[in-house]
Chain A
Amino acid sequence: MKRAFPILGVLTAILLSYALYLALIGAPTEKTMGDVQRIFYYHVPSAWTAFILFFVNFGASVFYLIKRRSAADIVALVSAEVGVVFCTVVLITGPIWARPVWGIWWTWDMRLTSTLVLWLIYVSYLFLRRFSSSGETPLLAAALAVLGAVCVPFVYFSIWFFRTQHPQPVMGGGGSIDPRMLHVLLINWLAFSCFAFLVCWSRYRLERLQRDVDQAHAMESLLDPRGSLR
């Protein structure tokens, strides 16, 4: 397993570089928007990756609620944290793309607003994990994660239910996309998914190590004759 990480890291770096090349040079230029449309190859895969990570968070949280396994709690925490990072990318690249195309940075339509609310839910989840010292924190966080996961399909399908400024979804939206553009989009998604997996992996190891060290500190304070518990 120790060898797999650097090998996967190198492969992911190669894939990300190839995906960047395709996004900037390989993909055809869109007729109406021009080169600025290439933001699409970072914006959409980041959104899909964030949604997948939020679903992983949901699955791990439900598993934790049923089985109370520490590993599930760590997976939930890690996937939420990395999901928030990808969701932040979506919320930053979206307005940068909107400004030259729509003429505005932001509009309070259903897709944009619901994405912001989703981000706020998961940021509050991370704040809860970070600043609550109660023994019930993982349980409360798991309950909040279930609530957050309900919002994910709402965000994705909000375009169907409401009239919005945002274009239709690429997958299942009824619109059409040039096959060459779809190919570049999927390569970028694969690259970002591999990157997200590696980041989650290293964050998972870090969290396990952190919990082991916290446990060692707790043991040390119990064994220390000058400790308050003695």
Chain B
Amino acid sequence: MSRNGYLFAAYAATWIIHIAYLGTIVRRYSRLQREIEDLKKPGVRS
């Protein structure tokens, strides 16, 4: 690999790690929204 290839790999790895982590936050938030919707349904609690 060329020296610029290492530079690109390091920067790309940094953003892949951060975006992957942000993706887990978004996924958890969506799941939580669905749970909240389920809790709000009137028939669920009766």
B28 / chain A contacts, CB cutoff of 8 Å: 206, 210
B22 / chain A contacts, CB cutoff of 8 Å: 199
B36 / chain A contacts, CB cutoff of 8 Å: 209, 213
Q: Per a CB cutoff under 8 Å, which of B1, B3, B10, B45 touches A42?
A: B10
Known interface pairs A89-B14, A213-B36; A199-B25 also in contact (CB < 8 Å): yes
Q: Are A224 and B45 in contact (CB under 8 A)?
A: yes
Interface residues of A in 6-25 (CB under 8 A from B): 20, 24
Known interface pairs A199-B22, A220-B39; A93-B10 also in contact (CB < 8 Å): yes
Q: How far is the CA of A97 from the CA of B6 in the complex (A)?
A: 7
What's the tally of chain A residues with a CB closer than 8 Å to chain B?
33
Quick check: which of A33-41, A56-64, A179-187 contacts chain B, the rest being far away?
A33-41
Q: Are A210 and B32 in contact (CB under 8 A)?
A: yes
Q: How far is the CA of A201 from the CA of B34 in the complex (A)?
A: 21
Least Cβ distance of A210 to chain B in Å? 6
Q: Are A88 and B7 in contact (CB under 8 A)?
A: no
Q: Are B3 and A89 in contact (CB under 8 A)?
A: no
Against B, the Cβ 8 Å flags (1 = close, 0 = not) of A184-220 are: 0000000000010001001100100110010011001
Q: Are B3 and A85 in contact (CB under 8 A)?
A: no
Q: Per a CB cutoff under 8 Å, which of B17, B35, B44, B45 touches A92?
A: B17
The answer to the question of A99 belonging to the interface, with a C-beta cut-off of 8 Å to chain B, is: yes
Q: How far is the CA of A39 from the CA of B6 in the complex (A)?
A: 9
Q: How far is the CA of A76 from the CA of B4 in the complex (A)?
A: 38
Q: Per a CB cutoff under 8 Å, which of A35, A203, A224 touches B7?
A: A35
> 13 new A-B pairs (CB below 8 Å) besides A82-B21, A100-B6?
A35-B7, A39-B6, A42-B11, A43-B10, A46-B14, A85-B17, A92-B13, A97-B10, A199-B22, A206-B29, A209-B32, A210-B28, A216-B39
Chain A residues with CB under 8 Å of chain B are 20, 24, 34-36, 38-39, 42-43, 46, 82, 85, 88-89, 92-93, 96-97, 99-100, 195, 199, 202-203, 206, 209-210, 213, 216-217, 220, 223-224
In the complex, 9 of the A-B residue pairs with CB atoms within 8 angstroms, ordered by the A residue number, are: A34-B3, A36-B3, A39-B6, A39-B11, A46-B14, A92-B17, A199-B18, A206-B32, A213-B35
